[in-house]
Structure 1
Amino acid sequence: MLASAPTGNPSESPRVSSGGDRSLSVLMIAALLSCAALLVFPQIEAVWGAGAFFDSDDAMRAVQLRDFLAGQGWFDLTAYRLDPPSGQITHWSRVVDVPLAGLTLAFRAFLSPEFAERATRLVFPFALLAALLALAGWLAALLSGAATRHAAIWLTALSGPMFLQFAPGRIDHHAPQIVTLLAALCFLLQGLDPRQAPRLAVCAALMALSLAISLENLPFFIVMASAPALLFVRDGAAARAQLLCFAAGALVAFPALYVATVPRAAYLQLACDAFSIVHLAAILAGGLALLVLAALAPQLATARARAGVLLVAGAASLAGPLLVAPHCLGDPLGGLDPLLRQLWLAHVTEALSLSSIFAKSPGASVAVALPVALGLCCALAFAGFAHGLARRRWLLVAGAIGVGLAAGMWQIRVFSSATPLAMAPLAAAIVRVLAPLEVASALRAALVGVVCALVSPIGLALALSSSEAAGPGGERACLKPHAFDFLATLPPSRVLASFSLGSHVLAHTAHSVFAAPYHRNNHGNRIAADIFLAPPEKAEGLARRAGAGLVLWCAATGEPSPLATAAPAGLAAMLERGEAPLWLERLSPDGAPLLVFALRPVE
């Protein structure tokens, strides 16, 4: 049976750590980072030796970073070589570019610009991985005491972050978002203790920083932001300081980050996929509502009265966004062209639902989802036995995990954020179950480590491994840096290529592209789709009118491209068969994974 965390009055909290415990945690994290580096050494070697990119977002982030360091403005987030001549404004911000630029400039003091960037791409994800492990241990200690810290660190490492969002070369915003989520949650849990109410202001600031990066954590933050309000409903004036601290932090941090990251000309633009006035208006209204609630606390003597006023305040806060931008309550990618959704997004693994992944790879799906579900069950069980502050913390963590699990059913990529949250309660349960064993402490620690390994994502993945296909490997050959060597020798031109190749073309060459895997690039992606789907004789006219100079096709995909299967008589299908129309002249050498064609001059 799971016993409770410390119980008693609401101000009780478990012992978090001692000096020796923290030192051991540091040593443990250092050892795990060393093991992680050994496990992913081939990727480290590929990044350092060849400048490889393993994800389109990392390639595009590198392009954005280079443009920033070359003098492109702070507020100018246009990718000018994507869908030229006007380029494409991305939905990213400069927040992640700040540490990347700082590291790159520091490394340039003793490395060439090229290797300074590569060094940054190796140091950045490993620094964030260290932060992730430390925060996982802190979360476990806040919930159930220092005894579970090391188990949580170990279990989080066994969730495989070094293979996913924290992999070598990973410089996109996903890892920073996971780290800010854990940090915000830890400060929120601390702030639930009335003696540490100012920590709620830090939590609000971390939420603002996260939303300034991207909106990925918004579902988690909705749950977390409800905690101070619900605390006020239950405790009334006793929670007034906590309400004030959270509201003050939000009212200062969110406008400050908005001004710091959003161009003045875009202050009033409605955007569902990035931090915009839609979100800021609701947040400011909510923060002001919390201040009003705090001021009225002495007059609101009953929980029913406080709940009624809170419901009215919440409705008023959401009224504006609901009236002005109701479409933002649905899919943030709702503006994506339906054809592009079918040809591109439907084939992006991280954007698929868990059920879709399960149909292709049931073992992998179970390994991803089961540990999170177990973590949720453990958090709810602990909450059932706990009292006061401990119960509130467990319930809040359970709510965050539950939201992550539900969102992960919709898009599997959410599990990369939900899994670290679930590892703390799962580790606490394992420690608690094995605590009664009358064995030496070293043997008990070993048993905890073994059980953690058995229920971890990596352990389950190994146990459930089968002959399930991991996906086509041929396209990877087309994304390796050396595949672009020949293309890079050609004069800059507009390249017509498939969606998956676009970011890598920008990162490895000086060319421009029409298409890349970004939902805002409807115009350029649709041009590429229309040309590749058209019959070769019609595709020529479309390509020339669009200003294409080169056509690029991956000859080593291993399976048919969606562009080819969607139109068997189209240009893409023809290129897929190894053929080419007369109006295209092949330039690339025989055996090259990337086929490079030039449009022949019109006679």
Structure 2
Amino acid sequence: MTQVGALEAKAMARSGGRHLPVWLIGWVLAAVILILRFGGEALRLQFADPDNTMWLVSVRDVLAGQGWWDNIQHRLAPPDGTSMHWARWIATAIAAPIALLTPIFGQATAEVIVAFAWPLTLLAIFMSLIVSICGEIGERDGLRTEASVAGALVAALAFPTTAKFAPGGFDHHSVEIILALAGVLCLMKMASSPRLGAAAGAALGVAMATAAEGVPFVVVGVLAAGLLWVFNPDVYRKGLTWLGLGLAGSSLLMFLAMVPPSRWGAAVCDEMSTPFLGFGLAAGGVAMLLGGALPLALTRNVGGRLAGAAAIGGMSVVALWLLFPMCSSGGYSAMSADMKTYWLAQIAEARDLGQLTADDPSMLLDLAGAAFAGLVAAGFYLHKRWRSAEGWILLAFFVAGWAILVWQVRGSFFATAFAIPFGAWGAVRARQVWQSGRVPAGVLLFAVAAMTSASAMWSAAGEQLKPRVFSSATLVDYKDRKASSEACVAPEAYASLAVIAPGVMLNDFMLGPSILQRTPHAAMAAPYHRNGEGLMTMITAMRSSADAAKPIVTQSSADYVIVCAALPETEFYAKHPAGEVAANATLSSLLADGTPPGWLEAEPLENTPLKLYRVVR
């Protein structure tokens, strides 16, 4: 057995005569980092990501008695409200411990406790899964222990991913990461334990039902298992059948649980619905057919199996396209061109990788550096281990993560998560080469592999690159703007707003989640594509002249108009005025300057950058 040095010494730390689990070391390190960074904000229930704010609002709705199948956010764009595409089971799972703790601590304190307990518990599950996957990747080189320990340390520093598990992290993406990793691990173990194929299928089915981001992982999971069957049918036939059963079964159960009978015929493309059920049943059915129902004549050789798989898979794709053509463009298929131009263009995380590279190359290192290094490590791993099923399974999910990242940079947390095992293997393999003395520059190889596997190093490199990309004046201006913008959503900014007579706010969309969290008011706009009518009412009004905006606002349900001049939205609407309106004559500019038209009456607020105006009808 090889020596593992300092890394293994950490893993072998004893407590009561028993070894500490390797994943626990990574969890403690990551938890300490995240608590130090985000704990203060979580204590105040202040969230940098508006999605976490909106999830808390949804949780409070559940606690207030809103029904399981009532996924309407009734205070967003009233009177009809906004149908949210988020999985109700997550809001209910978060609400349950808050309900249990409320009689003891009160709801406010219970929410804070769960704001720490929920994401950090998920972090423990994430760490356990990623360490196990790292062990599987290191096994072929006799490096299971070393790769597991390295994986725990690399994962603890994988900030694009671990940030999803930070205190205050109510967002569903942490659950999606866990379900995808569970699918990977079960697929890796499917050869020795075929019934784990059912667990893999169930995990992927639940991931798809939870959010549309799960669909690519269903695709690559079935594709990877199918290809393993093509090249090694005796080993993977049973596992592939179980995979199909688990996927089809979980898709059906989640559909029945999450979709009310009244909406079974609704073909929506961004949440669990008939198209998602059809996809889960089709993919599961293909897996079951390949695993046990194809004629023997078609499965005697690789060519026959490949042809059979391609034919059945192709027919399934065609059938799904014919049944649900509206979903061929993805979850944003129903979004209008104006929404894409005037709203989606303002969402930084919705940029594609090319846009990010053009806008801020230093941010590319921060978000994608470890994922790039993971690709290099994956290439080295599979170069001489091309028979490794574990490597190909992980690579399939890694490629899916990269596809999401290229499409929208928010996918960085998926790509980084799947890069961790390859990066950890690269570090311990380079260390092994260094210790062997066969490579003169072995110590340099180890140092490079170890550093590039850690996202923290790439973040530091990005910070060093910023002064070379942007002038010092630009960086200072950015920091000032960022601080001013953050003040717009700080808890104290809403204290005086909360005591104003309740009404509907026509608001900058970034204010929407905080208005719903911290006041009794309703909001017209929030940063969600399902909020199309409310968003476009607000955006059209803000881009228009005062005279043109008047009928838009007065004919809406708005009682107030509220803005925060420091938000980037203000400048965006001025730069994109409607028609021939001058930038400084847009309603957004007028309100930011404190010069409202006569049909808006200023309402004084104290100790806040928010500006509130009552609509005069």
Fold equivalence (TM over 0.5): yes
Counterpart for residue 590 of structure 2:
574
Counterpart for residue 504 of structure 2:
494
Work out whether 1:538 is the aligned partner of 2:548: yes
1:66 positional shift? 0.9
State which of 454, 466, 487 in structure 2 corresponds to 1:477: 487
Q: Which amino acid aligns with 2:457?
A: G
2-side partners of 1:556 and 1:206: how far apart? Answer: 43
Counterpart for residue 171 of structure 2:
172
Q: Which amino acid aligns with 1:461?
A: S
The alpha-carbon distance between structure 1 residues 87 and 560, as it changes in their structure 2 partners (threshold 3 A), is closer
SS of the residue aligned with 1:196? coil
CA contact (8 A) 1:479 1:504 kept: yes
1:553 positional shift? 0.7
Counterpart for residue 318 of structure 1:
317
Counterpart for residue 464 of structure 1:
462
SS of the residue aligned with 1:315? helix
State which of 109, 114, 134 in structure 2 corresponds to 1:115: 109
2-side partners of 1:510 and 1:560: how far apart? Answer: 25
SS of the residue aligned with 1:217? helix
1:356 positional shift? 1.6
Work out whether 1:349 is the aligned partner of 2:348: yes
1-side partners of 2:379 and 2:444: how far apart? Answer: 26
Counterpart for residue 272 of structure 2:
275
CA contact (8 A) 1:125 1:168 kept: yes
Q: Which amino acid aligns with 1:107?
A: L
The alpha-carbon distance between structure 1 residues 463 and 374, as it changes in their structure 2 partners (threshold 3 A), is closer
1:582 positional shift? 1.9
Structure 1's consecutive aligned runs of 4 or more residues displaced over 4 angstroms after TM superposition are 17-22, 444-451, 468-471
The alpha-carbon distance between structure 1 residues 268 and 148, as it changes in their structure 2 partners (threshold 3 A), is same
2-side partners of 1:455 and 1:33: how far apart? Answer: 16
Q: Which amino acid aligns with 1:47?
A: A
How big is each residue's C-alpha offset from its partner over 1:160-180, in whole Å with a ceiling of 9 and x where there is no partner? Answer: 157732222120111111111
Counterpart for residue 152 of structure 2:
153
Work out whether 1:564 is the aligned partner of 2:561: no
1-side partners of 2:318 and 2:391: how far apart? Answer: 31
Segments of structure 2 that go 5 or more residues without pairing to the other structure are 1-10, 139-143, 578-582
2-side partners of 1:597 and 1:163: how far apart? Answer: 41
The alpha-carbon distance between structure 1 residues 495 and 560, as it changes in their structure 2 partners (threshold 3 A), is closer
2-side partners of 1:130 and 1:445: how far apart? Answer: 32
Counterpart for residue 384 of structure 1:
383
Counterpart for residue 13 of structure 1:
none
How big is each residue's C-alpha offset from its partner over 1:403-458, in whole Å with a ceiling of 9 and x where there is no partner? Answer: 32233122111111110110111110110111144499xxx999979953454221
How big is each residue's C-alpha offset from its partner over 1:216-272, in whole Å with a ceiling of 9 and x where there is no partner? Answer: 122232111112221222223543211221122122211011111111111121111
2-side partners of 1:507 and 1:535: how far apart? Answer: 31
Q: Which amino acid aligns with 2:372?
A: A
SS of the residue aligned with 1:164? helix
2-side partners of 1:408 and 1:183: how far apart? Answer: 20
2-side partners of 1:575 and 1:319: how far apart? Answer: 52
Range with greater deviation from structure 2 (378-387 or 135-144)? 378-387
SS of the residue aligned with 1:96? helix
Counterpart for residue 399 of structure 1:
396
TM-score by length of 1: 0.89
Counterpart mapping for 1:19-98 below 5 A: 23-40=20-37, 43-48=38-43, 50-98=44-92
Q: CA RMSD in A?
A: 2.6
How big is each residue's C-alpha offset from its partner over 1:264-295, in whole Å with a ceiling of 9 and x where there is no partner? Answer: 11112111111221122132133233333312
Counterpart for residue 526 of structure 2:
516
State which of 126, 137, 145 in structure 2 corresponds to 1:143: 137
SS of the residue aligned with 1:44? helix
CA contact (8 A) 1:79 1:89 kept: yes
**Highest relative contact order (Cα 8 Å, sep 6+), 1 or 2?**
1
SS of the residue aligned with 1:401? helix
Q: Which amino acid aligns with 2:354?
A: S
2-side partners of 1:449 and 1:201: how far apart? Answer: 40
Counterpart for residue 4 of structure 1:
none
1:478 positional shift? 0.8
Q: Which amino acid aligns with 2:594?
A: G
2-side partners of 1:202 and 1:308: how far apart? Answer: 27
How big is each residue's C-alpha offset from its partner over 1:64-109, in whole Å with a ceiling of 9 and x where there is no partner? Answer: 1111111111011001111111111111121212320122123214
2-side partners of 1:45 and 1:559: how far apart? Answer: 27
User: How many pairs does the alignment contain?
Assistant: 575
TM-score by length of 2: 0.88
The alpha-carbon distance between structure 1 residues 449 and 381, as it changes in their structure 2 partners (threshold 3 A), is closer
The alpha-carbon distance between structure 1 residues 547 and 244, as it changes in their structure 2 partners (threshold 3 A), is closer
Counterpart for residue 9 of structure 1:
none
The alpha-carbon distance between structure 1 residues 265 and 19, as it changes in their structure 2 partners (threshold 3 A), is farther
Counterpart for residue 14 of structure 1:
none
CA contact (8 A) 1:282 1:320 kept: no
The alpha-carbon distance between structure 1 residues 231 and 521, as it changes in their structure 2 partners (threshold 3 A), is same
How big is each residue's C-alpha offset from its partner over 1:458-505, in whole Å with a ceiling of 9 and x where there is no partner? Answer: 112213313354673122101011111111101211111011111111
Counterpart mapping for 1:335-346 below 5 A: 335-346=334-345
Counterpart mapping for 1:423-434 below 5 A: 423-434=420-431
Counterpart for residue 123 of structure 2:
129
1:558 positional shift? 6.9
SS of the residue aligned with 2:612? strand
